[in-house]
Amino acid sequence: MRLSDRDPQVGADELVDAMVPPPRFDDVSFDSYIPNPDEPSQAAAVKACQAFVERVGARKKRWSLFGRSEDEGKPGLYLDGGFGVGKTHLLASIWHSVPGPKAYGTFVEVTNLVGVLGFVEAVKRLSEHRLLAIDEFELDDPGDTMLVTRLLKELTAAGVFVAATSNTLPDKLGEGRFAAADFLREIQTVSAKFDVVRVDGPDYRHRGLPDAPPPMSDGELTTRAESMPGATLDDFDELCAALARIHPSRYGRLVDGVTAVHLRDVKAAPDQAVALRLVAFGDRLYDRDVPVAVSGRPLSDLFSEEMLRGGYRKKYLRAVSRLVALSRPS
Domains 3-8+205-327 and 33-202 share a fold: yes
Which stretches does DSSP call E strand in 75-130?
76-81, 102-106
Diameter over CA atoms, the chain: 66
Q: Report the alpha-carbon angle 103-68-137, nearest 5.
A: 40
Residues in the chain: 330
pLDDT at position 174: 47
Q: Band of the pLDDT at 309, cuts 50, 70, 90?
A: confident
pLDDT grade, residue 270 (50/70/90)? Answer: very high
Q: Please check whether residue 212 is in contact with residue 328, taking contact to mean a CB–CB distance below 8 angstroms.
A: yes
Rounded CA separation 276/19 (Å): 22
Give the per-residue pLDDT at 314.
80
DSSP 221: H
Whether domain 33-202 has CATH 3.40.50.300: the reply is yes
pLDDT of residue 172: 57
> Would the CA dihedral through 187, 192, 198, 204 be positive or negative?
negative
Residue 71 clears pLDDT 50, i.e. is over it? no
> Quick one: angle between helices 236-245 and 272-287, nearest 10?
90
6-10, 11-15, 106-110, 287-291: which has the highest mean pLDDT?
A: 287-291
State the chain's mean pLDDT as an integer. 86
> What percent of the chain clears pLDDT 90, i.e. is strictly above it?
56
Please name the helix (run of DSSP H) or strand (run of DSSP E) that holds residue 240, with its range, or none: helix 236-245
| 330 compared with 179, residue with greater pLDDT | 330
pLDDT at 173: 52
Q: What is the pLDDT of residue 329?
A: 78
Q: Is the predicted pLDDT of residue 183 greater than 70, yes or no? A: no
Contacts of 19 (CB under 8 A, 6+ apart): 103, 104, 105, 109, 113
In Å, how far from its chain's centre is CA 33?
Answer: 18
Q: In the CATH scheme, what architecture does the domain 3-8+205-327 have? A: 3-Layer(aba) Sandwich (3.40)
d(CA 152, CA 157): 8
Q: Which of 7, 31, 145, 138 is nearest to 92 (CA)?
A: 31
Query: Given this model, what pLDDT does residue 178 score?
Result: 45
The mean-pLDDT minimum among 63-77, 140-154, 189-203 falls in 63-77
Nearest to 174 by CA among 54, 283, 312: 312
Domain boundaries, the chain: 3-8+205-327, 33-202
The CA-atom distances, in angstroms, between 302 and each of 5, 46, 242, 277 are: 23, 34, 17, 12
pLDDT in tens, 206-238: 555 556 789 999 999 999 999 999 999 999 999
CB 89, CB 28: distance < 8 Å: yes
Q: Each residue of 55-75: b (16+ CB within 10 Å) or e?
A: ebeebeeeeeeeebeeeeebb
Which segment of 32-41, 90-99, 104-113, 253-262 scores lowest on mean pLDDT?
104-113
pLDDT, tens only, 125-137: 999 999 999 998 8
